């Protein structure tokens, strides 16, 4: 049985935050299981070996290691058939694998945004992220672009690596309409038949456009008294949270913040609205 190691800085685990990267790893892992592979997920947001790491096994068991060395003692990277990187850490370790002679794992880099483009757009992208991403692009045997938009940008920013890159578009996991849950949501937030319901889903940070939404929300809510606006996602910037709270206090019956929703319940909010835009996945959702 072929073994696959996913590397991610997040992964779905109970009632906790998990963004787009974790969701893609989850769906990829499930696809590998269906195909008969043995998938593992190495979960860590750190760059230093002394920090703890977690390992999700194929049977859904999660192992905790006090540091990266402890993980390596039990799992030799060379014994995996594929290593699929979803982050930008462990580049030195992966380069050693790439340069070794004889049998080695194929290294695949599934990147989720071009960090150099973010820097060019004025965002404060950390240098170590920027440099490590470009190292990963060089190291990888294959590079996966998750959307046509990112694929076109990759061609513009990294034309010398066109022979490595492939387009595999992200998929959307859907859930059916639940009439009782939708009714409870309407009752809880006092949503009337003529109300307009809008939804923002994604990390609350400037790079996702959350600052712009929060900045103009008071003006929009004053103008549209029948608007109910929901922001769903983890706040990563303190000043944005303070601004969000001020809007929430000023418009307690129109503006609602929810840190986390299980995906099945989140979809019931989608069904209440005509159009929703996800700033992370760039997916439009329509309900009629």
Final residue in a domain of this structure, among 167, 202, 232:
167
Residue 188 and residue 159 share a domain: no
14: in domain: yes
- Residue 241 tokens, joined: 């949270």
Which residues partner with 256 through β-bridges?
Answer: 230
Total count of domains within the chain: 2
Q: Which residues of 251-282 are buried (b: 16+ CB within 10 A; e: fewer)?
A: beebbbbeeebeeebbbbbbbbbeebebbbbe
Residue 274 and residue 131 share a domain: no
Residues of the domain holding 259: 179-286
Lowest pLDDT segment from 87-96, 101-110, 116-125: 116-125
Residue 119 and residue 235 share a domain: no
172: in domain: no
- Whether 286 shows a pLDDT value over 50: the answer reads no
204: in domain: yes
Residue 145 and residue 34 share a domain: yes
For strands 38-43 and 53-56, give the pairing.
antiparallel
129: in domain: yes
pTM: 0.80
Mean pLDDT in residue range 167-175: 83
Give tens-digit pLDDT for 251-264: 999 999 998 888 88
d(CA 4, CA 108): 11
Q: Which residues of 145-160 are buried (b: 16+ CB within 10 A; e: fewer)?
A: bbbeebbebbeeebee
Final residue in a domain of this structure, among 141, 167, 193:
167
DSSP H or E stretch at residue 135: helix 127-139
């Amino acid at each position: 049985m072929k073994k696959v190691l996913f590397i991610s800085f997040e992964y779905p685990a109970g009632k906790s935050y998990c963004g787009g990267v974790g969701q893609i790893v989850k769906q990829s892992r499930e696809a590998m299981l269906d195909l008969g592979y043995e998938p593992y997920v190495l979960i860590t947001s750190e760059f230093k070996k002394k920090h703890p790491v977690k390992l999700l096994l194929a049977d859904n068991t999660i192992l905790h290691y006090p540091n990266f060395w402890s993980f390596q003692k039990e799992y030799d990277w060379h014994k995996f058939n594929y290593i699929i990187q979803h982050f930008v850490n462990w580049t030195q370790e992966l380069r050693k694998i790439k340069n070794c002679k004889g049998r080695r794992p194929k290294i695949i880099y599934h990147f989720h945004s071009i960090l150099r483009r973010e820097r060019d757009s004025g965002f404060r992208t950390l240098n170590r992220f920027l440099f490590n991403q470009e190292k990963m692009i060089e190291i990888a045997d294959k590079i996966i672009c998750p959307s046509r938009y990112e694929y076109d940008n990759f061609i513009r920013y990294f034309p010398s690596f066109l022979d490595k890159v492939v387009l595999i578009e992200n998929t959307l996991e859907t859930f059916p309409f639940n009439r009782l849950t939708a009714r409870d949501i309407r009752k809880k937030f006092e949503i009337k038949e003529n109300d307009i319901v809008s939804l923002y889903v994604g990390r609350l940070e400037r790079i996702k456009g959350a600052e712009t939404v929060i900045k103009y929300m008071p003006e929009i809510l004053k103008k549209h008294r029948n608007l109910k606006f929901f922001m769903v996602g983890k706040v990563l910037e303190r000043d944005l949270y303070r601004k969000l709270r001020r809007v929430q206090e000023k418009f307690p019956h129109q503006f609602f913040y929810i840190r986390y929703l299980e995906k099945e319940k989140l979809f019931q909010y989608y069904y209440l609205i005509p159009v929703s835009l996800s700033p992370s996945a760039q997916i439009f959702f329509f309900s009629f």
